[in-house]
A and B are shown apart, each in its own frame.
Chain A
Amino acid sequence: MLFAIGIYGLLVKKNALRLLFAVEIMINAANLNFVAFNQYLWNNAVGQTFVLFSIALAAAEAAVVLAIILVAFRLRRGIDVSELKSLEG
């Protein structure tokens, strides 16, 4: 079971094309590992509590990223990351 979760982590970090999606999936893989290891190795609730915080943080991160994407789209008429050269110093 844990091995399959490890494979899940492997498959998940496959492609960084859609950056936000990839980040969300990676966060979820990490959360899953938190709960699984907590369940199998330690008999307490710290892992689950940690995942609650992690999910809340991920939600905040998603909100900010989506706002940035909207602003970038309005400014530049496109959300191709490689075209956002004006951010370079």
Chain B
Amino acid sequence: MADIVFLAMMVITVGGAILALEASEVVYAAVALAGSLFGVAALFFLLNAPFVGAFQIIVYVGAVAVLILFTVMLVGQEHLIKEVSFSLGKLAGALTAVAIGIALIAAFAASRLAEISEPLGTATYLQIGQLISTQFAPALQVMALVLAASVVGALTLAKIEGEEDKT
């Protein structure tokens, strides 16, 4: 049962990822990316990490995907977004991707990870909360600063340009 669900989620995730990069229309690509992110969230649930899965759905499927969709619609005009048409670059990209993939598989085969079949145990909400509020408390505060700075920066970028447009 879990294997079937896992396979389906892998198909959704990988297919969505490929579609997000290869779809002809950018809007479709954005929707495919949202589907792919949702698949990743489902994989988190399958990995007994429901907290991370819920977080993924809230942040990615809820916020980032909508943000991307809005940007795509604002920018609009698909014809302005030119694909890289020369085949040499595409070939080089594909070759690099295959090389990285072979390297990853080789690294996996060289390790003894395949012998591990059972998870050691799952993290509880309590553990996550304790870690965030003790060991990772400085990181949490830095993260808050980074988030605030990025939001302010994004707003500033958009706002200055908007005022120039009015004049």
Contact = CB atoms under 8 A, between A and B. Distances in A.
Interface of A: 1-4, 6-18, 20-22, 24-25, 28, 31-32, 35-36, 38-49, 51-53, 55-64, 66-71, 73-75, 77-80, 82
Contact of B71 (A31, A56, A66): A66
A40 B116 contact: yes
Contacts of A62: 64, 67-68
A45 B131 contact: yes
B157 A67 contact: yes
Given A13-B97, A63-B154, A46 B131 contact: yes
Interface of B: 6, 10, 13-14, 17-18, 20-22, 26, 29-30, 33, 36-37, 40, 43-44, 47-49, 51-52, 55-56, 59-60, 63-64, 67-68, 71, 74-75, 80-84, 90, 93-94, 97, 100-102, 104-105, 108, 113-114, 116-124, 127-128, 130-132, 136, 139-140, 143, 146-147, 150-151, 153-155, 157-158, 161, 165
A15 B121 CA distance: 35
A52 B52 contact: yes
A11 B154 contact: no
Q: What are the 5 closest A-B residue pairs judged by CB atoms, nearest first?
A: A10-B101, A45-B123, A67-B154, A45-B127, A60-B150
A41 B52 CA distance: 18
B56 A55 contact: yes
A73 to B, nearest CB: 5
Given A53-B136, A55-B55, A79-B80, A9 B21 contact: no
B165 to A, nearest CB: 7
26 contacts: A2-B108, A4-B10, A9-B101, A10-B100, A10-B101, A15-B22, A21-B33, A24-B33, A24-B64, A28-B36, A28-B60, A31-B56, A32-B40, A39-B47, A39-B120, A40-B120, A55-B55, A55-B56, A55-B60, A56-B59, A59-B60, A63-B67, A64-B154, A69-B71, A71-B157, A77-B80
